[in-house]
Structure 1
Amino acid sequence: MAGKDDNSDLLLLNQQLLVVQELIKRARKRERTSAVALGAGVLVLIFSVACWFIFPAGQKFTISVLALLVGGLSLAYGILARIRPGAVANSAERDIADLEEARRYPRPELELKFALLREERRTSPGLAAIDHKLQFKEDIVDYIDELRIKGTRNRRANHAVQVTTIVGSLAATAISSLALALDVLRWVSIFLTFAVGVAAGLAAYFKFRERSFYSQQTANAIEQEVASFNLGIGRYKRYGGEESNDALVEFLQEVHRLQVEQKNREQDLDEPARKSTDGE
């Protein structure tokens, strides 16, 4: 009876982890949406102001008002999402994850609960007889998801700064030529040039492209290693396709090596750029 109860508790912990992990994903999606809404709202409001000076008198009022309305709604949603971040759990999710009330749970609170649940699962009596190597193997899936999330976030940031740099450079060049006829366009050209400089500086300092590449590369390598281990192919073929202890040890060694390489790469990217002193 005790063993059955331990297995039931372990199953409940796994279900709670899945529910909280899904809530964290929804909270992150809301944060990304709010950031996009804020950025789009600011750009549309700037466009509405520019339309007032650029378009003829018969058209500028309608276009400016429409742009102002769209920009205002986008900004309002972005601000509301920032004021009330997080994710709302339905009644079934609250029952499984043992959430007290129907409200919006912020992402830091959900991440703390997720960490506590993982620690509780580690110390669960149902896992007492399981080797720590197998526990580490189970955590590999979560590590791959974390790498995927980091890679996607950095890739989107890289796309944003690259688009801003390319489009802003072309627009600034074109508007600079027109600024000779319309004096107000000179300020638009100055703003675009500043935006291009900021985007280029952010890309060079934070190195979004390199971070995205390394995260995706490590996630792909670990995922391939997991598939090879489960199927008993590649370097694990000599173990006869069985999850022997030797195969498990070699698998964990390879995954640990990939994790250490990823940490070293992230540390190198976080360090400030240093000038080469070769030849001095």
Structure 2
Amino acid sequence: MTEPANIPSDALTTDVLIRHRREIVDLKQRIKNRRLQVLGLYGTPIVILAALITWAGLKVFVWLHSNTPDAIDNITGFVVFFSGVTFAVQAVAEFSKELSTRRDRKTPVRELKLELSLAEERHVLEARRRTPPPMDRQASYKERLPGEIARLRKESRHYRRIHLFMQWMLFINSAAISAVTAWYDPPQPAKGVLICLGFIVTLITAAAGYFKPRERAFNLQLTADSIEQNATALELGISPYDAVEEKRNLALFATTVEDLRAEQRMREQQLDQPQQGQQGQQEVI
């Protein structure tokens, strides 16, 4: 009799937490929209003033005794006209009660930020009050892992593509340098081409050594494979998740996955450090 009674309570808890999350996401989007609205309302007069000052400065210091080129006049006129129309539309949407459809008309951004802080605080308090048992949280944690694995693999493919692109650029530009050098004798007509190709090779080599996309892709793929291996072992009930109590298996699984994620973050931090700092840290370890 107790299990059916718990189902509505669990469903109510889920609905409440989802409602709080939707409120937080909605407030974040409203803050972004309001910032764009304020920027459009107060930024367009600044653009008009800057365009007029620029045109006047060019007239005084460059074309004082002659007519301003038509291109300059046309560009200045277009900027002033477009900015003026944009400002008029923004002003009507901001101050007109009949024509405005804005949700946060005349609302300061700081007030929306305060509402967001209060919504996040309500979400934390509600989640704390309705916190499910540890076994339920561990089970839900297991269900969220496929998304985390997909994210890690997506980032791994991203860095792998960057690494392959850099390598192909190095191959092509290095071969082009040799081809251009051998084609021209003397290489005077192709000096500019050689300089550009050499600059690209140096830039790509430096970027690959600094950002280390190959190492990042390897670490992300390694973490994703390790998490998936543990998830499969838990699903099949094999070692080390072969205990009789499911509670122990879930606790061990959550601990292992969090250790793997912590190792991944540590490897990312090591890649972001300078080479000397990495060597010093390895010596300390």
- Report the TM-score when normalising by structure 1: 0.53
| Cα distance change of structure 1 residues 11 and 130 upon mapping to structure 2, 3 Å threshold | farther
The partner residue of 1:251 within 227, 242, 253 is 253
Identity level (%): 27
Per the alignment, residue 205 of structure 1 pairs with 210
Worse-superposed segment, 123-132 or 167-176: 123-132
1:145 matched residue in structure 2: 150
Structure 1 runs not aligned, ≥5 long? 17-99, 101-112
Distance 1:140 1:167 in 2: 40
Q: What residue is the counterpart of 1:236 in the other structure?
A: 241
Aligned-partner residue type, residue 260 of structure 1:
A
CA shift digits 1:115-158 (9 cap, x unpaired) = x99x9699569963243434443443333233222211211111
Measure the CA separation in 1 of the matches of 2:204 and 2:217.
17
Task: Say which of 175, 195, 199 aligns to 1:194.
Answer: 199
User: Which residue of the other structure, out of 129, 132, 136, is the alignment partner of 2:132?
Assistant: 129
**Letter paired with 1:199:** I
Q: Taking structure 1 as reference, are residues 233 and 122 closer, same or farther at Cα in structure 2, changes over 3 Å only?
A: farther
Contact 1:148 1:215 in 2 (8 A): yes
Distance 1:177 1:134 in 2: 66
Shift of 1:9: 6.0
Aligned residue in 1 for 2:87? none
Over 3 Å counting, the alpha-carbon distance change for 1:245 and 1:194 in structure 2 is same
| Structure of greater Rg | 2
Runs of 4+ in 1 over 4 A off after TM superposition: 1-14, 119-127, 275-278
Asked whether the equivalents of residues 137 and 252 of structure 1 are also in contact (C-alpha less than 8 Å), the reply is yes
Larger deviation, residues 169-178 vs 230-239: 230-239
Cα distance change on mapping 1:205 and 1:186 into 2, 3 Å = same
- 1: CA distance, partners of 2:267 / 2:167: 23
Unmatched segments (≥5 aa) in structure 2? 1-7, 23-102, 104-115
Aligned to 1:221: 226
The answer (yes or no) to whether the contact 2:181–2:187 under 8 Å persists in 1 is no
Q: Does structure 1 residue 180 correspond to structure 2 residue 182?
A: no
Q: Letter of the aligned partner of 1:251 in structure 2? A: F
User: How is 1:67-106 mapped onto 2 (pairs within 5 angstroms)?
Assistant: none
Selected match of 2:273 from 271, 274, 280: 271
Aligned length, in residue pairs:
180
Residues 1:197 and 1:143: Cα distance change in structure 2 (over 3 Å) = same
Q: How high is the TM-score relative to the length of structure 2?
A: 0.52
What CA RMSD, in Å, does the superposition of the two structures yield over aligned residues?
A: 3.8
Between the aligned partners of 1:170 and 1:189, the Cα distance in structure 2 is 11
Residue 162 (structure 1) shift: 0.8
> What does the per-residue CA deviation read over 1:50-101, in whole Å, with 9 as the maximum and x for residues that have no partner?
xxxxxxxxxxxxxxxxxxxxxxxxxxxxxxxxxxxxxxxxxxxxxxxxxx9x
Tell me the secondary structure at the aligned position of residue 276 of structure 2: coil
Distance (Å, rounded) in 1 between the aligned partners of 2:151 and 2:126: 23
